[in-house]
Amino acid sequence: MHTSKSCASSSQNYCYDVFLSFRGEDTRKTFTDHLYKALRDEGLIVFRDHEEIERGEDIEYEIEKGIRQSGSWIVVLSKDYAFSSWCLDELVMIFECRDKSKRLLLPVFYHVDPSDVRKQSGLISEAFCMHEERFNKERDDAKRKILMDKLKRWRSALSQLASLEGMPLQNIANGYESKFIQKIVNVIKDKVTCKFVGITPHPVGINASVHVVNKWLRNRSTEVEVFALYGIGGVGKTTIAKYVYNMNLHLFEGGSFLENIREYSERFDGLVSLQRQLLSDICRGNAPTINTLNDGVLQIPIAIRQRKLLIVLDDVDEVEQLDAIFGMMRDKFHQGSKIIITTRNVHLLKAYEHCRRYAVKKLNFSDSLELFSWHAFRESHPPEHYKEQSERIVKQCQGLPLALEVLGASLQGKKVEVWRSATEKLEIIPHCKIQKILRISYDSLQDDHDRDLFLEIGCFFNGEAKSYVVGILDECKYYTVIGIENLIDRCLLKIDKYKKLRMHHSIQSMGREIIRQQSPKDPGKRSRLWHFRDSLEVLKDETGTRAIEGLALDMNMTNAQTTELRTEAFAIMHKLRLLKINNVELRGGYKDFPKNLKWLCWHGCPSRSLPNDFPCRSLVALDMQSSNLKNLGQGHMLLGSLKFLDLSHCHSLVKTPDFKNLSALEQLILEDCINLIEIDESIGYAEGLVLLNLKDCRLLKKLPKNFGRLKLLETLVISGCCNLGMLPAGMREMKLLKVFHADGLDFSNSSHNAQRKESWREFIWGLVSKPIVSPQLALTSLPSSSITSLSLVNCNLHDNAFPKDFCVVPSLEYLNLSRNPIRFLPDCFKGLKVVKWLKLKECNRLQALEDLPNIKMLSALYCPLLEKITFESGMSLEGLAFPWGCDKLLEMGKVFKFVPIGNIDPEFINDCGIYDVESRKRIRIRLLNNYTHKETSCLIQGVYENHRSTEVFRGKSFSIFYPGSSVPVWFTSQAHAPSISFVVSHSKPRYLNTCIIYKLVSDRRQYFYMVINNRTKHRITIYRPSCYGIPRGDDYMTWLSHWEFNSHDLDSGDEVSISVFTHTFYPSFEVKEVGVHLVYEEEEHADIHPAKRLKIQPACDESSEYIIPVAENPQGHRATTQVYFLGCINEYTDLLAKAVLENTLEVESVESIQGLIV
């Protein structure tokens, strides 16, 4: 069924299934002896020391070997366990082995309270006091230091042990030892007999997806939940499922990974075989016998209700396959069970309403190149002389792991010239292994209609707007809307955010190869010709046949200087419906040209007009961009079926056609027709027109008087039409207008062309305001508006240009006011309740954006006078573009606020340990703002920042930078180094104060990071401040900061380190000292130095900063590292965040993070 290996002993060929660690004097002849016998009775091989080994400072070789060669460990924590240095050394060794493998460690609390172990209180505390007193008696300083280091390791090991899920005697069996022992045996038996699935040796680029699934798997829900990974074939669904299965199986009482369900279901008795496998896995070999599907349907509910299970159903293709395995028995599962499904068929998930779905994304270029290199060169990057060809192939694969692995393996060991030839071949003929796997989705389509639709899109319409394709193919007798939905359900097609159809390159190549196989040697006999060489050959040799339904040729793709093609080459192609002949010159008449053309794309047509005998009667779409047309000629008289007309960039075009015969027209695009003077007055006859694009028609002076007859118009673009005259009166009746772009038109209140401007202003403001009365134009009302997108870039709009009720229209989602001389947004902008995107780029006079509503995206780049951005309520930082070029920005609401030292409460400044405030008020320093990328000279500033609360810190922090060369004396821990380590001495520290002393050693501008690493709890917080001070010359700069902990992060005994570094081998800073002081709960109200209980004063509201928990290491079950990013950092703009996200497996220490970003 699948490659598998046992979880513990059998998977690694360990000598022992279980190692017993215990305090001999406490439990050797009682509890541990009974546990040992119960484990042996289950057939498990158990290691225990049969006689007391003399205690010493070193672990005996046999015991050390027993620990290393055991598949799991049980630590029996009895009352005097911590008094034994032998036991503690043993525990340290166990953790060292566990950190390198995926073995199970089970703490058993035998008459011991787990909280005493966690807090290291009670007898645990007494034991460590005894050890510490004994070690302090050592007179040799070096030896005493070694002993004290050992004491730290003991503490850390016990803390880690307490953080694991353990088994307390009183809680689990109410003190009954026999029941308790049986439960322990069941847990161990489950773990050492569970099965892992084989995984790829090179898991590149899966960590983000693995993290998403892991977070769901570990949500502690008691519900029975289903998670679906879906995507195209070969994108990595099964790889991700295998990793999360192996990583999380130990959290469940059993599991099963059913691989290749689609393939098995096609075999005789295949579904029964899957049922048997499922029962065998979850019943551990004691499965009942089943011979038919009905037998399985009856037996499976009995098995799955017994225990919490993790089930993976891989490559499910039909609902019937799910029904055969589970039927409608989701409610029969034991509570807390989880089911993961991988599929290419999204439609089948609709039967599972509460199923969580996750689309597996393709790899980025960096990960793609690495994965390809592992398979082609057995290393993570290509050799220099293969780099160009490798990158070419990787780009062609478009992030599909299957293609990268197959092509890499097929080219391994081949010479460069072979690679070049193979690359050229792959552009036409895909690799057979890739073709075979991807074709499964094509063959699974329900009928020839959907298969043909897939081929049409793959050959001619990949990247085109959905509405455009639907309009054309509906006329080709396709049911395009439902067909596209079916293709999307099978992960063969996507619709992007611009509503364009997107097909992956490998999927597209699969479809084109199906067509090539129709006639491999004679392209003229294929149904569609998409490759320019085949198309040119058929047209040049005139070898086309009746089979051809679509043809695409772009002469710019060929090396031919002048190739004469004749219209007679098309005469035999009676079925031709789709034709693309860009930059082609045809000779001859069109009498015998195919009569059923629906789509003609003829960019660069050399003719001055359409030939009079051109068969236009059936045309639905005519795309003549960048052609030499002066007009459409008489041929347009027969364009009664035309829906789409695109004459963009036809620089010779001076007038539009007569629209009387274009009554079906829906879209008219005339962008960049720079010599177009007028729109024909007959345009009112095109009453079905939905889109009109006149962008950059600079000579156009007026719109037709009957323009108002276009009552169905939804999109109107007049950007760049700088000579347009008065607004046609009928335009006010366009009640369905949704998109209006008028960039570059002057709508100011100046007297020049005042009446023209006023007419357009009234129209525009009417789109976004309440109906108004205009004395100048005697308007009584304006229509209610459905406007969704309004762009008025560079329209010379001042503050007073906006009406009081601007933006009250609830439909407006996109507003672009960039490059206008606005200083402040008027109060009316508080009505922007549903606007998703506000753009104010390059507004050179803009000074403040205050009390903005909760918009989703704000872009205010290169506004040099902007000082302040605030919001009415919470807005996530994800929706706020970094304000580059806003050199004077001092406050970005919900994120940061700069306050001069003279404006901060003096008592608060004293609490920071900063004295002589009056003289410091006049000191100027250089600050680099990490958000604006601007260095400024300013007075000493306090910086208030807000962060989303994490498991480590609460929301607010405060920093201040000032000249200074020493850490204040009240900091209890100090180090003359760029990092400092300490052990938390009490429970519940509330605040963290840090002090960094540094100087400049290079003028290179770099990012500055503070890394706080809780080694005990495996949590790393990476903080990049909003700004940092830049020292002058050889002077030192002091950076003080203050943080509030969350209540459950730090405990007594936790080992913590704090480091500061930049991100290259050649840092621009040198850190002289680091100081740390923790404020504990009991100190908060004590009569001590006030700085030790420093609290942050609120300066701005709570924000949403980036917090990115990094995916766990799929190679092990140990407590894995979580990485959190705070401050001016996100995965899109910061090199460190990118490095950590793309190399998650490496994040095990601060040193590894430094290695990543270097």
Q: Write down the mean pLDDT value for the chain.
A: 82
Assign 954 a pLDDT band (cuts: 50, 70, 90).
low
Contact 739, 812 (CB under 8 A): no
CA distances to 422, 424, 510, 520, 1003 from 429, rounded to whole Å, are 10, 9, 9, 10, 53
CATH node for 4-191: 3.40.50.10140
Task: Look up the pTM and report it.
Answer: 0.72
Choose the catalytic residue: 90, 405, 475, 1112.
90
- Judged against a pLDDT cut of 90, whether residue 1085 lies above it is answered with no
CATH node for 199-359: 3.40.50.300
d(CA 120, CA 25): 21
Q: What average pLDDT does range 544-572 have in this prediction?
A: 88
Instruction: Decide: residue 1130, CB within 10 A, 0-12 exposed, 13-18 middle, 19+ buried.
Output: middle
d(CA 11, CA 1116): 13
- CA dihedral over 630, 635, 638, 641, signed as positive or negative: negative
- Judged against a pLDDT cut of 60, whether residue 1151 lies above it is answered with no
Q: What average pLDDT does range 782-801 have in this prediction?
A: 82
d(CA 1156, CA 1143): 8
Assign 1148 a pLDDT band (cuts: 50, 70, 90).
very low
- Judged against a pLDDT cut of 50, whether residue 1103 lies above it is answered with no
pLDDT for the residue 528 = 97
pLDDT for the residue 510 = 92
Bridge partners of residue 998, in order along the sequence: 1037, 1071
- Judged against a pLDDT cut of 50, whether residue 683 lies above it is answered with yes
- When mean pLDDT is compared across 209-218, 553-562, 639-648, the lowest value belongs to 553-562
How is residue 632 written in tokens? 């459409």
- Judged against a pLDDT cut of 80, whether residue 1147 lies above it is answered with no
Fold (CATH) for 435-517:
Arc Repressor Mutant, subunit A (1.10.10)
First to last CA, the chain: 44
Query: DSSP 3-state assignment of 592?
Result: coil
pLDDT for the residue 1063 = 59
pLDDT for the residue 735 = 84
pLDDT for the residue 972 = 87
Q: Crossing angle, helix 31-41 and helix 177-193, to 10 degrees?
A: 40
- Judged against a pLDDT cut of 50, whether residue 1101 lies above it is answered with no
pLDDT for the residue 650 = 96
- CA dihedral over 1095, 1098, 1101, 1105, signed as positive or negative: negative
* Burial letters 589-620, b for 16+ CB under 10 A, else e: ebeebbebbbbbbbbbbebebbbeebbbebbb
pLDDT in tens, 8-62: 333 445 667 789 999 988 888 899 999 998 887 776 778 887 543 444 444 567 7
Residue-by-residue DSSP string for 845-910: T--EEEEE---SEEE--S-TT--EEEESS---GGGB---TT-TT--EETTTEEEEEGGGS-HHHHH
How is residue 1115 written in tokens? 């190679």
Q: What average pLDDT does range 123-128 have in this prediction?
A: 90
Q: What average pLDDT does range 1004-1016 have in this prediction?
A: 78
Q: Which DSSP symbol is given to 808? A: -
pLDDT for the residue 713 = 94
d(CA 213, CA 241): 9
Q: What average pLDDT does range 903-920 have in this prediction?
A: 74
Q: Residue 422: which residues within 8 A CB-CB, separation 6 or more?
A: 410, 411, 414
Contact 920, 910 (CB under 8 A): no
Element (H, E) at 566: strand 565-566
Q: What average pLDDT does range 780-805 have in this prediction?
A: 77
Torsion region of 111: left, alpha or beta (phi above 0 gives left; psi -120 to 50 gives alpha): left
pLDDT for the residue 911 = 67
How is residue 745 written in tokens? 């038109």
Element (H, E) at 322: helix 319-325
pLDDT in tens, 915-942: 677 777 888 999 888 888 888 888 888 8
CB atoms within 10 A of CB 557: 15
CA distances to 280, 436, 483, 530, 531 from 527, rounded to whole Å, are 50, 21, 19, 10, 13
d(CA 27, CA 624): 90
How is residue 456 written in tokens? 């049409």
Residue-by-residue DSSP string for 122-178: THHHHHHHHHHHHHHT---HHHHHHHHHHHHHHHHHHHHHHHS--EEHHHHHTT-HH
Q: Which DSSP symbol is given to 728? A: P
CA distances to 532, 542, 561, 585 from 564, rounded to whole Å, are 15, 12, 10, 7
pLDDT for the residue 566 = 95
d(CA 286, CA 276): 11
Contact 1010, 1028 (CB under 8 A): no
- Judged against a pLDDT cut of 90, whether residue 86 lies above it is answered with no
Beta strands 309-316 and 338-343 are: parallel
pLDDT for the residue 4 = 35
- When mean pLDDT is compared across 167-176, 568-577, 632-641, 701-710, the lowest value belongs to 632-641
pLDDT for the residue 1129 = 56
SS (H, E, C) 1118-1139: CCCCEEEEEECCCCCCCHHHHH
90 catalytically annotated: yes
pLDDT for the residue 558 = 78
